[in-house]
Amino acid sequence: MNGDFPREFLLKIPKTDLHVHLDGSLRLGTLIELARESGVKLPSYTEEGLLELVFKEQYQSLDEYLKGFGLTNDVMRTPEQLERIAYELAADNQQEGVRYIEVRFAPQLHTSKHMDTMQVIRSVCEGLERAKKEFNSRPEIVSGKEPPFEYGLIACALRYFNEHFSSYHRSFLALHRYTPRERVYSLASMELAHAAAHANRHEGLPVVGFDLAGSEEGYPPHRHREAYEYAHRNFLKKTVHAGEAYGPESIFKAITELHADRIGHGTSLLNPEAISDPDITDRQRYVEDLVQFIADRRITIEVCLTSNQQTNPAYRDLTAHPFGRMMERKLSLTICTDNRTVSRTTVTDEYAKACKIFGLSLRELKNLVVYGFKRSFFPHKYARKREYVRKSMEYFERVAKEFGYDV
């Protein structure tokens, strides 16, 4: 029966998470411990209390969803905190069969006079690298029986910010007091693009991609075009949060103005009613053309079912989520968590929901898994990536056979 896969099977198959925010994926116990050590005030100092008051099953709005990030970012202020949180994120993924992750975060949220941007990036890498080395020393990995664990980093620029975001942003705004705000946002993105490229090219750190996050409405992508052009010229891969809380034209602009290789969320892609550009008169035709445009270029959509369900009332019933229609159109899709803690989810949970609600066949499940590996911004040479994908999918087939599936 399609979609009826046992959880043990979904746990064991090799998986990826290409869209997971570091500051949305802390262990609650770690948040509480670090808050006590740092004197950070929490609304509760028990996991049960935080789940009731902050990290809920459902949120009334995107603003409510984002409130928890203020708490998590307050305990991500030192190299030791960042290293630990990154290590634990990798370990949690490894525990559920995830073999490749791309951890995205905004380094400027953690930068201060005590820790510059490069130290922020390096600390996160050190945590991920420690988890990688521990996992890959296992006999089944060393022998080649199972694929190893790998990771990459994605640096997130912000569509907008204010002085309350971080000490870095407060100082940045003060230094550019007479510069128009939209230009200040552009300059901050450009600074991050330079840092990301430097980390990749000169520090040997696996910063593989560049992202743009934050409210879409009122903060158009063209303000960050210069930063994306720089990332593009320096061979960083590009992803953009687009079509999450704005119309399909936001997705088109992310691709054409920012060279996006992947799209984060993209839930408005098939919704002509979400188009607000008055110059688009035939909305349905625009949507059809955009879908074809994306499909032809194999631009991958990073699907985050639970997150979308929590922040958009239209998807409280997940059968209304466009994922099913995207599957029907044979688009390149990959299953992601977005925020493991804020959304109270795991990669396995997301796959289980996708399979059950949309009745996925084994072939469709396998395609989703392989897209996660193939469309990754893998930090090593292309030949090594091909070998890694091959080994991962051979392992998928071996696990499927163990569970009695015909592959």
Overall number of domains in the chain: 1
For the segment 199-226, the average pLDDT, to the nearest whole number, is 95
Question: For residue 245, what pLDDT band results from cuts at 50, 70 and 90?
Answer: confident
Residue 72 neighbours by CB under 8 Å, 6+ apart: 23, 24, 26, 31, 341
**Predicted TM-score (pTM) of this structure:** 0.97
Whichever domain contains 116, its CATH number is 3.20.20.140
Query: What are the pLDDT digits (tens) for 86-132?
Result: 999 999 999 999 999 999 999 999 999 889 999 999 999 999 999 99
Query: Within a domain: residue 135?
Result: yes
Q: Is 306 helix (H, G, I), strand (E, B) or coil?
A: helix
Q: Counting beta carbons within 10 angstroms of the beta carbon of residue 180, is it exposed (0 to 12), middle (13 to 18) or buried (19 or more)?
A: exposed
Question: For residue 355, what pLDDT band results from cuts at 50, 70 and 90?
Answer: very high
Query: What are the pLDDT digits (tens) for 137-154?
Result: 999 999 999 999 999 999
Query: Within a domain: residue 66?
Result: yes
Query: Within a domain: residue 321?
Result: yes
Do the Cβ atoms of 27 and 66 come closer than 8 Å?
Answer: no
Radius of gyration of the chain (CA): 20
Q: What is the pLDDT of residue 217?
A: 87
Q: What is the pLDDT of residue 1?
A: 52
Query: What are the pLDDT digits (tens) for 362-396?
Result: 999 999 999 999 999 999 999 999 999 999 999 99
**Smallest Cα–Cα separation from 192: which of 205, 211, 178?**
211
Query: Within a domain: residue 290?
Result: yes
Phi–psi pair at 42, nearest 5 degrees: -115, 150
Query: Within a domain: residue 40?
Result: yes
Helix (H), strand (E) at residue 377: none
CA–CA gap between residue 272 and residue 283 (Å, rounded)? 5
DSSP-assigned beta bridge partners for residue 155: 105, 210
Domain region containing 131: 7-402
For the segment 316-340, the average pLDDT, to the nearest whole number, is 98
Give the CA distances from residue 172 to residues 131, 183, 188, 368, in Å, rounded to whole numbers and listed in that order.
34, 12, 8, 41
Residue 299 neighbours by CB under 8 Å, 6+ apart: 255, 260, 261, 262, 263, 332
CA–CA gap between residue 235 and residue 382 (Å, rounded)? 13
Please tell me the number of Cα atoms within 13 Å of 178 on its side-chain side.
0
Query: Within a domain: residue 142?
Result: yes
DSSP-assigned beta bridge partners for residue 349: none
Q: What is the pLDDT of residue 61?
A: 77
Query: Within a domain: residue 2?
Result: no
Please tell me the number of Cα atoms within 13 Å of 88 on its side-chain side.
18
Report how many helices (DSSP H) and strands (DSSP E) the chain contains, helices first. Answer: 17, 8
Phi–psi pair at 285, nearest 5 degrees: -65, -40
Query: Within a domain: residue 35?
Result: yes
